[in-house]
Amino acid sequence: MRRFVENRFGLLVLVVVSLIALYGVALATRPAPPPPPAQTPKRVAVESVTAVCPGAKGQQVNVYLPGTLNAETLESGDPYVTKGPGGLEAGYLVRATAGESRGLAGVRCTEPAAETWLVGPGPVHADVRLHLVNADKAPALADVQVYAAEGPVSGDKGVGLEIAPGQHREIDLRTLAPSADIMAVSVTTIFGRVAAFARTTMETGGVDWLPSAGPPATRVVVPGIPGGGGQRRLLVAAPGETDAVVRLTAVSEDAEYAMRGRETVSVPAGSVVAVDVTTALAGSSAALVLSSPTPVVAGLVVTSTGQPGDVAFTAGTPSLELGSAVARNAAGSRLVLTALGKPGKVRVQVLPAGGEAAEPFEVDIPAGRTRNVKLAAKGDFAVSVTPVAGEVYGARVVEERAGNAVLLTVQPLAPARSWTLLPPLTDTPRVVAP
């Protein structure tokens, strides 16, 4: 031992062993490190917007920017394209009291998107025209896939559709899916920038544009179902390779409940299923909440009373977390707002054409309830909706009487273009790995 201690190398070994032992004890007894903070999407301002509308010769397009509302008459049937700063919204309403296009039809100018989903009646019972618009000066290529009750039906006929710079293509969906009774349509942009719309004219009467539906998700909220008479028909698509079992919950003016006999809906993989929810909603304004382990897409067909009646559409839409605005409204407009989970509150402001903005007012929505808010303004006007509290969904409804029939159109409150959510970024070499 004396020799070991006197040996300087032995002493060094002894010190190293002691340090290792102390480090081991410290490592074993140290407290657990706190978990890293959860990363959430970052809210950033939108600097520039490109909005595209399908052409309608002679119709008036309203263009809204916070604090201003302008109008422009379309001189041709070519698509309308406008560009501006964040917050820009545009759209138009068409009112016809006679002919095959009798009814109210509203359309929101949308931005070119990587993917667009549209849900509605198929060509068996309606004339459905899909419009693909290339808003840029470079060529664009898109794929169109149609899902029906029997599964994907368009095959390769909708693959590789070219759209020349600044041009558009109108496609009669009978050429892609002649036997489809109900359908979900996906438009995927391969390259370029493509905006997609679909105009639906029912054989039984009524016309409107299909609103863009949210992409496939395990939770989908379909807001803005107007109260009153007529049929309400929910369409649910499971575009993946797995069957979906969807749980349905209705949120009406008086209650939140599972609809008797409609608590769940089974949707085979790659297909679309229709569910009549008219009786379950009992004429109340409402929203529908769909929950499924398998991602689904959903929309709803509203048929009004009278002969001939009109038709309107709503679809799965995000909450009002980023606010919303509708550029074109008219007499008979109202908001249909739904709060989920906790009580909700929004701030509403009306901006008349050529006038000063009205004083904003706040609307409270009880938890698990739907509320109608009438919009009192003359002529054309824009309306903006800003979230204050809670998880709120909604739509703008325009309704008017024409003889013994009701004309109506519905526009879900899509996220405003003032803000966007950027997903969290992670520094990892996997982005360049083969």
Of 333, 345, 338, nearest to 318 (Cα)?
338
Cα torsion through 174, 179, 183, 187, rounded to 10: -40
40 pLDDT above the threshold of 80: no
- 44 pLDDT band, cuts 50/70/90, is confident
What 3-state DSSP class applies to 4? helix
Beta bridge partners of 116: 187
Q: What's the confidence (pLDDT) of residue 428?
A: 63
Q: Is residue 352 part of a domain?
A: yes
Q: Is residue 6 part of a domain?
A: no
Q: Is residue 17 part of a domain?
A: no
- Who's near 240: CB < 8 A, 6+ residues apart? 216, 269, 270, 294, 295
Domain span at residue 238 reads: 42-422
- pTM of the entire predicted model: 0.88
Q: Is residue 32 part of a domain?
A: no
Report the chain's mean pLDDT, rounded to a whole number: 90
Q: What's the confidence (pLDDT) of residue 102?
A: 84
Q: What's the confidence (pLDDT) of residue 97?
A: 76
Count CB neighbours of 332 within 10 A.
17
Region of residue 417 (phi > 0: left; psi between -120 and 50: alpha; otherwise: beta):
alpha
| For range 103-115, the mean pLDDT | 94
Q: Is residue 4 part of a domain?
A: no
Q: What's the confidence (pLDDT) of residue 32?
A: 61
8 pLDDT above the threshold of 60: no
Q: Is residue 332 part of a domain?
A: yes
pLDDT tens, residue by residue, 59-99: 999 999 998 999 999 988 899 999 999 999 999 999 887 77
SS (H, E, C) 262-308: CCEEEECCCEEEEEECHHHHCCCCEEEEEEEEEEEEEEEEEECCCCC
**Would you say 328 and 106 are in contact if contact means Cβ atoms under 8 Å apart?**
yes
Count of domains for the chain? 1
- 261 pLDDT band, cuts 50/70/90, is confident
Furthest-apart CA pair in the chain: how many Å? 115
427 pLDDT above the threshold of 70: no
Beta bridge partners of 188: 115, 143
Region of residue 82 (phi > 0: left; psi between -120 and 50: alpha; otherwise: beta):
beta
What 3-state DSSP class applies to 415? coil
Q: Is residue 29 part of a domain?
A: no
Q: What's the confidence (pLDDT) of residue 326?
A: 97
17 pLDDT above the threshold of 70: no
5 pLDDT above the threshold of 90: no
pLDDT tens, residue by residue, 192-239: 999 999 999 999 889 999 999 999 999 999 999 999 999 999 999 999
Q: Is residue 68 part of a domain?
A: yes
Separation of alpha carbons 24 and 59, rounded Å: 78
| For range 43-58, the mean pLDDT | 88
Of 221, 226, 284, nearest to 104 (Cα)?
226
pLDDT tens, residue by residue, 304-360: 987 778 999 999 999 999 999 999 999 899 999 999 999 999 999 999 987 788 899
